Structure 1
Amino acid sequence: MIAETDLEHCRNAIRTGSLSFYAASRVLPARVRDPALALYAFCRLADDLVDEGSEKVGAVLSLHERLDLAYAGRPRNAPADRAFAAIVEDFEMPRALPDALLEGLAWDARGDRYATLSQVRDYSARVASAVGAMMCVLMRVRDADALARACDLGVAMQLTNIARDVGEDARAGRLYLPTDWFAEARLDPECFLREPLPLDEVRRMVSRLLSEARRLYIRSEPGIAALPLDARTGIWSARLIYGAIGTEVRRAGCDSVSHRAHTGTLQKAWLMGRAGVRSVTSSVLPKQAVLHAPPLAETAFLVEATRRADRVPHRAAALLSVIADLNSHDASGTRSIGA
């Protein structure tokens, strides 16, 4: 069980670090909201350590050690670590899920770029769908169809993040748009990173990414009806708030180089009201066939790991391989996935 002082620390971390999730979490039932805040606080800690730290390899190694300690029941003496260890114990959290998240963060530390949309989905599966699968665990949901749709939602949300942050990422030397798209547009990615401009070709790439996100948002929706009734409004809120970010990007002409789209407080409140309505209506509508669609190829491993409810790190070799690679390459260099 999470100590109240640790939970308050996690709540404060999310209130300042992830406004969209914090807003959505407020309409989750306490039995889901409190462990979800602990989960997101640990994920935020991990992301910040890798993204903002000067020693990215050390950050990944430290996080791997912290996961080992949490799963051994001996967490580091820090609020987020203690809270995460509590949810590992209380919910039998499969180790493959946080390992997948850390693998994605290690790809960030290595400076990977992604040639194809499928590879961008691979990355999104790790840094976002793994969190969606962990949220299902916190709701005591291990049904394969519900998990597959939760993973769809995670990928959709991450694609939205990428589409919104093209300029911000470029100015930090990061590129998540598929490099194949640059080749098709006869643009040099290095030139774009040196001088990020809202070129028509880049706007079209942003539009393509948002279209893929929309496809996956639609695929994800029947899965929300498979979640516990009192948790659906919170998940619908997250889906609608992130979808609205994509809408704002489109309203700006898909220029996410000059502008960074966001949703305001009143807009979030309106969307959360819509989420409550959708929760009710989705409960009485017939199940859609897409509920039973197989998971994306890129997220299937997450669905299988969650169904097993196995805390043994079956995918540890993949993570350790990336960590070994980080140790043997200059972490400041850029690489293509799989290179």
Structure 2
Amino acid sequence: MNTRLSESYTYCQQLAKQTAGNFYYSFLALRKEQFQAMCVLYAYMRTVDDLGDQSGLSLDERGTALQNWRRELYLVLEDQSDPDAPPYHPCFPALRDMIQRYRIPRDYFFAVITGVESDLQPVTFATFEQLKEYCYHVAGVVGLCCIHIWGFHDERAFAAGVECGIAFQLTNILRDLAEDIQMGRVYLPQEDLNRFEYTRSDIQSQIYDERFRELMQFEVDRARSYYQSSERLFDYLSPEGQRILKAMHRIYGGILTEMERMDYNVYATRCGLPRWRKLLIAGEAIVAARWFS
């Protein structure tokens, strides 16, 4: 591995360690090459997300930043310029190497940019089908990238990987409801709000009542159905993939359980597992990797 490529992998690993929280430790359940690839994938996804959420920039400036990122990504992947030279981002050399190594379709990485770009305007979805399309761009394709890194042996893993990403993204949406409305984003479909006679202004005012509890129970049940459906992915993955997927299912699924315990009052506090519990889950995955690999 040349020096600049090695530096790029090191950059991605450091970024993941600093910002991925406990998920970074669950990556350690993978083989070294897979661990490095997951850090690169995380670094790429995190950077794109940050470009769309830069509070110090206007919406137009964020849009321009994402357009520039898309253009640079295209040039790097097409080998039309030196990926190690300025102004290219330090994750790009490792990203190109990872994509080639694991034969990950390039379209996935452009799809994420499209998803983040859609967040630059006030977010509303009329139907769940529209929301599901958004979830594919920002999370489903992440699941597809992961199964290439982890290893799979059945093409049915593709659909299951997308469903797993959707399950995780629906969990994020429910957890971050109060935070997102402050940025003009309401991801819950209008058809669902209408069904429970709950409005966008009710979310803005953080109205916690029976309508809201019924709405949230409906959405949590839907998210759980995606977790259950995506469980078939375990049958298509390598042992390494099974271990890390189990850890991620337990962490994200635990957030839904926490919402239920709080009677769905996500306005009161941001739901999440305590740090010790996430570390325990990640630690169990690492121990399993050491004993059964």
TM bucket (normalised to shorter chain) is 0.7 to 0.9
- Give distance in 2, aligned partners of 1:4 and 1:277: 27
- Structure 1 moving runs of 4+ over 4 Å: 273-279
Deviations 1:65-108 (A, max 9, x none): 12212312343533212221221232232122112211211111
**Quick check: 2:40–2:94 contact (8 Å CA) kept in 1?**
yes
Matched, 1:227 2:237: yes
Q: 1:123 aligns with which of 134, 141, 153?
A: 134
Q: Counterpart in 2 of 1:255? A: 265
Tell me which amino acid in the other structure corresponds to 1:248: E
> What is the distance in 1 between the residues matched to 2:121 and 2:101?
33
Taking structure 2 as the reference length, the TM-score comes to 0.86
State the percentage of identical aligned residues. 26
Pair 1:67–1:78, CA change in 2 (3 A): closer
Q: Deviations over 1:23-54 (max 9, x none)?
A: 32121221211111101101100001012252
Aligned in 2, Cα 1:126/1:207: closer, same or farther, shift over 3 Å? same
What is the match of residue 112 of structure 2?
101
2:242 is the counterpart of 1:242: no
Judging changes above 3 Å, is the alpha-carbon distance between structure 1 residues 134 and 244 closer, same or farther for their aligned structure 2 residues?
same
- Per the TM alignment, residue 201 of structure 1 is displaced from its structure 2 partner at its CA by 2.1
CA contact 1:66–1:81 (8 Å) conserved in 2: no
Contact 2:26 2:283 in 1 (8 A): no
For structure 1, list consecutive stretches of 5 or more residues without a partner in the other structure: 280-339
Number of paired residues?
278
Q: CA RMSD in A?
A: 2.3
The question of whether the paired residues in 1 share the 8 Å contact of 2:192 and 2:215 is answered with yes
Match of 2:163 among 135, 149, 152: 152
1:33 to 2:48 alignment: no
Name 2:65's counterpart in structure 1.
59
* Distance 1:15-1:174 versus aligned 2 partners, 3 A rule: same
One-letter amino acid matched to 1:128: A
Partner of 1:3: 5
Q: How far, CA to CA, are the matches of 1:199 and 1:30 in structure 2?
A: 49
* Bigger RCO (CA 8 Å, 6+ sep): 1
CA deviations 1:10-29 (Å, max 9, x no partner) are: 12222232224323212122
Contact 1:100 1:130 in 2 (8 A): yes
3-state SS, counterpart of residue 110 of structure 2? helix
Q: Distance in 1 between matches of 2:19 and 2:178?
A: 20
CA-CA distance at 1:193 after TM superposition? 5.0
Aligned to 1:196: 206
* Partners of 1:196 and 1:257 within 8 A in 2: yes
Q: In 1, Cα distance between the equivalents of 2:14 and 2:283? A: 24
- Quote the residue 2:216 is aligned against: 206
SS in 2 for 1:109: coil
Calculate the TM-score normalised by the size of structure 1: 0.75
Distance (Å, rounded) in 2 between the aligned partners of 1:97 and 1:22: 22
The one-letter amino acid of 1:205's match is: L
Q: Which residue of 2 aligns with 1:70?
A: 76
What is the CA–CA distance in structure 2 between the aligned matches of 1:132 and 1:12, rounded to whole Å?
22
Q: Unpaired segments of 5 or more residues in structure 2?
A: none
| Pairwise CA distance, 1:119 | 1.7
Q: 1:142 to 1:125 in 2, by over 3 A?
A: farther
Task: Give the superposition deviation at 1:161.
Answer: 0.5
